[in-house]
Copies of this chain bind each other. A is one copy, B any other.
Amino acid sequence: MSINPSMLKLGQVRSAIRETFEYGNRRAAEIGRDNVFDFSLGNPSIPPPEVVSETMLNLLRNESPVSLHGYTSAAGDYAVREAISRYLASNFQASISPDGIYMTCGAAASLTISLHALTEDGDEWIVFAPYFPEYRVFVENAGAKLVVVPPEVEHFYIDFDAFKKALTPRTKGVIVNTPNNPTGVVLPRSVIETLCGILKEASATFGHTIYLLTDEPYRELVYDASTEVPYIPSYYDATLVCYSFSKSLSLPGDRIGYIAVPNTMPQKADVFAAICGAGRALGYVCAPSFMQKIIPSCLGHVSDLETYRTNRDLLYDALTSYGFECVYPDGAFYLFLKSPTPDAKAFCEKAKEYELLLVPSDSFGFAGYVRIAYCVDTAMIMRALPAFKQLALSYFH
């Protein structure tokens, strides 16, 4: 009897992403930062929109510090929740009242709190591969089993036959992430409609609500005017939106997001109460107060996405011209590239010979691809392209 062994293991096992990033730092010390092409981390490389600093400075100068830095209620400052509710109504025609908004310390907190609120022993949560690896940690720590549905590899939407087979009477819910990490794919409306239709049918068949958690840190990060990111509560009543401002406002370290419980949610008051209970049990007293209070002025603002768009176009055009097969990324800041050899880990090792640091898709519960995070300086991409070309030539000569 000493230490919790599963927590010890979680703390000791480094993720492949973090390993690659730290290899990059060591390599940079050896050969110079400019000679290492690190595409491992999903850390925003562009600054927040100016309204963020302006709002912070205004609040610091003009607000009472006792109130600015004081506790808010556990669910968050009511004026902030009202502002979010109004924003969702005007942008997505969503009916989500302020008492359905629960402010959180970012998307990871939104997910863990939602999962703890809903999960009972023996429950199953379904995710679609490739998936953000922390889903497994969050689902298992909430006491449920993670069920992984393999992808359809033409568009990386959803393999609906496989999905239907994964549904069981123990299915508590489904997690979707669109725009997607690691593929960059945005699920189109028709796919969302089919997904929600199946969920409605399964809820009726099994006689209980199947929840849909939508993990939305990348909602605003899309690059083509034609790309629509459907607002999922409009298609399915029992949706919990797990939102974060980390990427839209380039504030990932400051930990601010929310859970939105739509007015249409079955047993809405109970679901919200269970969220409050889970937040309390996990030690989240309230979301950071100062960060909450900048949100009303920042809603609708997004960091300047030109850099990401430029990076995406540069990389996608170049890498496909070198012979690589890539999933066309509508959003987020990831390019999903098919490994020219079935073993993506071996491909990543080969890439390292050209100082290219990529993450094998095995980390995301799916083999044979790599993730290239393009939230980096455009200049680094320019320097990296010859290395990608050499890497391609080593396979497609």
Contact = CB atoms under 8 A, between A and B. Distances in A.
Nearest to A140: B281
A254 B69 contact: yes
A111 to B, nearest CB: 6
Interface residues of A, number: 81
Copies of this chain held together in the complex: 2
A133 to B, nearest CB: 11
A255 B288 contact: yes
Main secondary structure of the interface of A (DSSP, over half): helix
Interface in A100-136: 105-106, 108-109, 111-113, 116-120, 123, 134
B3 A274 contact: yes
A275 interface: yes
Contacts of A252: 69-71, 285, 289
A271 interface: yes
B283 A1 contact: no
A190 interface: no
B277 A8 contact: yes
A369 B281 CA distance: 27
Interface in A57-91: 57, 60, 64-66, 68-72
A280 B137 contact: yes
Given A137-B281, A254-B291, A288-B288, 14 more contacts: A2-B208, A2-B209, A3-B117, A6-B277, A7-B275, A7-B278, A11-B280, A43-B71, A71-B252, A105-B284, A105-B288, A137-B280, A252-B289, A255-B287
Q: Lowest 10 CB-CB distances: which A-B pairs, in order? A: A253-B289, A11-B277, A10-B277, A112-B283, A11-B273, A11-B276, A7-B277, A141-B281, A108-B283, A47-B65
Interface of A: 1-12, 43-48, 52-53, 56-57, 60, 64-66, 68-72, 105-106, 108-109, 111-113, 116-120, 123, 134, 137-138, 141, 170, 172, 208-209, 250-255, 267, 270-278, 280-292
